[in-house]
Amino acid sequence: MVARMALIGVFSIIALNILLMLGSLSNFDIRELQPVFQSGFKETVWASRHHNTDYAMAAMMICMILPLVRDKETWIKSSTAGIFYGGIIIVMWPILETGVLTADVAAQYIVSCMQMARSAEIGLFIHRYEMIMIAFFALSILTQIIMAFLCSSIAVQKLLGLKDYRPVIIPVGLILSGSCYWLVKDHHRAMHFIEGPWVYLSIGTVVGLIGILWISGLVFRKKWKANYEVKQ
């Protein structure tokens, strides 16, 4: 079921990016990308922290879902390909936003990609072109929400020492849904959370998670290898 939903999500995000590129390339001006690193390298990297949250949650969910796949060779190839293509998509968006909207205009919007979608057009007969892209975006977001529920349920299962994650799906879903509804009910509260605490929580989580996994791999590599050989 998870794999089928992931397939729908991947198709939706690919279709979204293709439509966005087709509708925006006519307005793209590469000169808007200059000068590069005008504010300095460190300042530019620090300013990208809001953009880096796009892949932080995905990286955390991948680390929880991939170990559930039985075929090790399959998930290694799939994860490598996913990181490569996902990285291309993540890098493509800010480049398009800057080249189409210009840096000054993009800086005025919290969700500048939506403004770029409004300016995208193909031909003279497709009106409200951005609504097509919003439909694909909604499907991909739905997939991410489902994956977030799954990962949260697995985390609670491991935390409580349960044998199965299914009994906690409904309680976890109710808690997450209620919390998110309370957060977005106040627009200013939601924007403050996204621009402030969420940036440090998501990046801190993914950096810390990767660090913990890397250190654990170095420390327990021989033990894990021995246990794997015994199982074989």
Three state DSSP letters for the chain: CHHHHHHHHHHHHHHHHHHHHHHHHHHCCHHHHCCCCCCCHHHHHHHCHHHHHHHHHHHHHHHHHHHHCCCHHHHHHHHHHHHHHHHHHHHHHHHHHHHHHCHHHHCCCCCHHHHHHHHCCCCCCCCCHHHHHHHHHHHHHHHHHHHHHHHHHHHHHHHHCCCCCHHHHHHHHHHHHHHHHHHHHCHHHHHHHHHCHHHHHHHHHHHHHHHHHHHHHHHHHHHHHHHHHHHC
Rounded average pLDDT over 124-136: 67
Residue percentage of the chain with pLDDT more than 90: 3
Q: For residue 174, what pLDDT band results from cuts at 50, 70 and 90?
A: very high
Using CA atoms of 161, 162, 165, 167 in order, give the dihedral in degrees to the nearest 10: -130
Q: For residue 182, what pLDDT band results from cuts at 50, 70 and 90?
A: very high
Rounded average pLDDT over 57-74: 74
Q: How far apart are CA 176 and CA 147, in angstroms?
A: 13
Per-residue pLDDT at 176 exceeds 80:
yes
Per-residue pLDDT at 32 exceeds 60:
yes
Kindly state whether residue 37 falls inside one of the protein's structural domains. yes
Predicted confidence at residue 125, as pLDDT, reads: 57
Kindly state whether residue 54 falls inside one of the protein's structural domains. yes
Kindly state whether residue 11 falls inside one of the protein's structural domains. yes
Neighbours of 98 (CB within 10 A): 22
Predicted confidence at residue 178, as pLDDT, reads: 92
Per-residue pLDDT at 188 exceeds 80:
yes
Cis geometry, peptide bond prior to residue 35 (ω within 30 degrees of 0): yes
Kindly state whether residue 211 falls inside one of the protein's structural domains. no
Kindly state whether residue 73 falls inside one of the protein's structural domains. yes
Per-residue pLDDT at 185 exceeds 80:
yes
Rounded average pLDDT over 3-30: 77
Rounded average pLDDT over 121-139: 69
Closest CA to 156 of 139, 184, 176: 176
Predicted confidence at residue 124, as pLDDT, reads: 62
Both structure tokens of 47:
């300013």
Distances (CA, A) of 1 to 8, 79, 86, 162, 228: 11, 18, 22, 21, 28
Q: For residue 48, what pLDDT band results from cuts at 50, 70 and 90?
A: confident
Is 101 in contact with 112 (CB distance < 8 Å)? yes
pLDDT digits (tens, 9 = 90+) for 71-103: 777 777 777 777 787 778 778 888 888 888 887
Per-residue pLDDT at 172 exceeds 80:
yes
* Domains: count for the chain: 1
Q: Which domain holds residue 157?
A: 2-169
Per-residue pLDDT at 163 exceeds 70:
yes
The model's pTM is 0.70
Kindly state whether residue 189 falls inside one of the protein's structural domains. no
Higher pLDDT: 129 or 36? It is 36
Average pLDDT along the chain: 78
HSE, CB side, 13 Å, CA atoms: give it for residue 167.
7
Rounded average pLDDT over 37-64: 77
Q: Which residues contact 142 (CB under 8 A, 6 or more apart)?
A: 9
Is 176 in contact with 152 (CB distance < 8 Å)? yes
Kindly state whether residue 95 falls inside one of the protein's structural domains. yes
Kindly state whether residue 12 falls inside one of the protein's structural domains. yes
Rounded average pLDDT over 218-231: 67
Rounded average pLDDT over 195-204: 83
Per-residue pLDDT at 18 exceeds 60:
yes
